[in-house]
Amino acid sequence: MSGRVVIVGSGQAGVSAAFKLRALGYQGHIALVGEEPGLPYQRPPLSKKYLTDEADVERLHIKARALYESERIELRADSHVRSIDRDGKQILLADGQSLRYDHLVLATGATPRCLPFEQGGNAPNVHTFRTLADAERLRTGMKPGASLLVVGGGYIGLETAAVARRLGMEVTLVERDTRILGRVASAETAARFRALHLANGVRICEGVELKRLAHADRNGKTAWLANGIAIDADVVVVGIGVIAQTGLAEQAGLHIDNGIVVDCGGRTSDPFIYAAGDCARFPYRGQQIRLESIQNAVDMAETVARSIVGGSAEYRPVPWFWSDQYSTRLQIAGLNLGYTHVVVRNTSETACSIWYYDGPRFIAVDAINDAKAFMSARQWLSAGRSPAADAIADPGVALNAVPLSNIH
């Protein structure tokens, strides 16, 4: 198949789409356009190993430079796309150049929510955490004895807190919700990670909002909470979620609803334009959702590639995620959207799993230091099987002996 494919966004989704097209035999021109300089890189290690110098930049690269050349993928780094001309089927770059396309893939990702200006979000020591440049700026302030304030009790905030404690920093985490992980995990999972961080010396303030940062030489050295408590803050990391990058798509008149709306093949409201990864909102169990994960970026991008070459492609994911904090690994399979109850399986003193059910139907698991539970759950979710909750709750029943039922 010949033609021209232009991919906007050089993160995991964009790179995956480009290389999958070649693997499927696409012979046309492929241009991969990214705003950041240098080679495309992996984001998950930024909040895990990169901050502690356990991974250098070269180890972050998704693909070696030579592979882009051998696969005839034109990599246009440090390039900003100004607009999409749907009638002319071309994108217009900020430098005045244009790129014609037969198929366009939007893999524009997401951007972090920032701390509001009135709370001190403009202080130089306030960081969001999404890009390699963000990590490099943050790394300069991550020093033993310095004080870190983490705003937001999601996974990015918790991972950053764990890294900071390993580096010998004093860490306070503030979550305005009643508990950490309030939007993404059960109370049972949250309680275990709260205990983990407390045991490692993190101060956790839940149910309270940051009021403002007191500036000293434009640095927010003191954080005042809404309850009147003052906290030292040499460094502030804001982890309060992300916003899908939909500006280009919206400007082009595509259907937008908390992301670029696509069908199960990744097509937008324009049949020649596709979207994949963090920016895309796709059908899942009768609703439209967005996912922010490596699994979603890769699998959805590969579905888009199949659609472009004319194959039968439907994106039906079994989502999975992971988070490393201290010596604890959390592995998540499925999505816990709409769960009615959870079942806890205690495997050992350091390993357990929290199983989510929607009535009798199993929908997700949080496996803490329990790879067997994670792998079993992925297999059952892929096969449309639900493990019996009473057997799951009994660690004396081996996972391969748990009764299963077919519930779709």
pLDDT tens for the chain, residues 1 to 408: 789 999 999 999 999 999 999 999 999 999 999 999 999 999 988 877 787 766 678 889 999 999 999 999 999 999 999 999 999 999 999 999 999 999 999 999 999 999 998 888 888 899 998 999 999 999 889 999 999 999 999 999 999 999 999 999 999 999 999 999 999 999 999 999 999 999 999 999 999 999 998 865 555 589 999 999 999 999 999 999 999 999 999 999 999 999 999 999 999 999 999 999 999 999 998 899 999 999 999 999 999 999 999 978 899 999 999 999 999 999 999 999 999 999 999 999 999 999 999 999 999 999 999 999 999 999 999 999 999 999 999 999 999 999 999 976
**For the chain, how far is it from start to end, CA to CA, in angstroms?**
37
Question: Same fold for the domain at 4-111+242-308 and the one at 114-238?
Answer: yes
Closest-CA residue to 141 (of 231, 235, 223): 235
Long-range contacts of 184-189 (CB under 8 A, 24+ apart): 184/154, 184/155, 185/336, 185/354, 185/366, 186/336, 186/339, 186/342, 186/354, 186/356, 186/366, 188/342, 188/344, 188/354, 189/330, 189/354, 189/366, 189/368
Q: What is the dihedral of CA 32, 34, 36, 37, to 10 degrees?
A: 40
What would the two tokens of residue 37 be?
């300089």
**From CA 126, how far away is CA 236, in angstroms rounded?**
5
pLDDT at res. 403: 98
Secondary-structure class of domain 327-406 per CATH:
alpha beta
Four-way CATH pick for 4-111+242-308: 3.50.50.60, 3.10.580.10, 3.40.50.11540, 3.30.2130.10: 3.50.50.60
Distances (CA, A) of 381 to 5, 7, 338, 393: 34, 32, 16, 18
- Going by the DSSP 8-state scheme, the letter that residue 116 receives in this structure is P
**From CA 408, how far away is CA 399, in angstroms rounded?**
21
Instruction: Compute how many other C-beta atoms are within 10 angstroms of the C-beta atom of residue 203.
Output: 15
SS3 34: coil
Hey, where are the domains in the chain? 4-111+242-308, 114-238, 327-406
pLDDT at res. 54: 64
**From CA 198, how far away is CA 173, in angstroms rounded?**
10
Closest-CA residue to 366 (of 201, 193, 180, 235): 193
pLDDT at res. 408: 60
Does domain 114-238 fall under CATH 3.50.50.60? My reply is yes
